[in-house]
Amino acid sequence: MTVKERIMKILEEDGACHLTLIDPEEQNPEKAAEMAKKAEKGGTDGIMIGGSGVDIDASGDTTKAIKEVTDLPLIIFPGNTASITPHADAIFFMSLLNSRSRYWLSMAQAFGSFSVKKAGLEPIPLGYIILESGRKTSVEFYGDANVIPRDKPKITAAFSLAAQYMGMKIVYLEAGSGAAEPVNDETIKVVKKTIDIPLIVGGGIRDGETAAKKIRAGADIIVTGTVVEETSDLERKIREIVTAIKNTK
């Protein structure tokens, strides 16, 4: 079963999916592996590995360490081509659709394509869209994103539908790591009514109540990252969020 098929099966059976995002540059590989184990005990469905940095050693070493302690699918969430490592199972092969830079639209993908093939990774085509979040986030800065205003849901829906029509398999609405405000519910509702492919929502989601609201609005997959680094009881926090979203649909 491919990682994409596994995600779709979880959505069919549970109505929602949770992915834990671990940034390789925020802690050493051993600590990252410990975090992954706790997230697995908390009920997360998979581990995303990535961030805005470009330290190839951090990405490879962290992914390898996590792979040794969990059977959960490991998905690279690439900050750049340096994030590609053969130790993962899959990669979100994504285009930052509202970037001002052609590099993030298609050049990085071209530069990284042969590395993905050589590594034997499962590519999961994904349309990545950055929304206004109340503060300038790292992904907005590095990705040179023309962020979509919070009160313009139809613009987000237009980008999302374009992603689907270009053959991408998932749409990811991102407020950014440490966002002051998560993607608002109205935007999620409008996008979900517009597209026919799974919808990921991430950024600024720090508790089960907020995560459940995003699922009720139409999100299929919730990603939590910053809260993983900040909480003192990772297993409990992940369980709180996972329980909330899987009791919603």
Question: For 92-125, how does the pLDDT look when each residue is reduced to its tens digit (9 = 90+)?
Answer: 999 999 999 999 999 999 999 999 999 999 999 9
Residue labelled with tokens 């592996």 = 33
pLDDT at position 39, please?
A: 96
User: What does the pLDDT look like over 208-226, one tens digit per residue?
Assistant: 999 999 999 999 999 998 7
Strand partners, 145: 99
22 three-state secondary structure: strand
CA distance 192 to 208: 21
pLDDT at position 141, please?
A: 86
Let me know how long the chain is.
249
- Dmax over CA atoms of the chain, in Å, equals 44
Answer whether residue 231 shows pLDDT above 90. Answer: no
Helices (H), 43-70: 56-67
| Distance between first and last Cα of the chain | 24
Q: Which long-range contacts (CB under 8 A, 24 or more apart) does 54-61 make?
A: 54/79, 54/80, 54/82, 54/83, 55/24, 55/25, 55/82, 56/82, 56/83, 56/85, 58/24, 58/25, 58/29, 59/24, 59/83, 59/84, 59/85, 60/85, 60/87, 61/24, 61/29
For residue 160, which of 131, 111, 200, 194 has the smallest C-alpha distance? 194
CA distance 113 to 81: 9
CA distance 189 to 187: 5
Backbone angles phi, psi at 31, to 5 degrees: -65, -40
Q: Quick one: pLDDT band at residue 140, thresholds 50, 70, 90?
A: confident
pTM: 0.94
Domains of the chain: 3-246 (3.20.20.390)
Q: 146-160, 161-175, 222-236: which range is least confident on average? A: 222-236
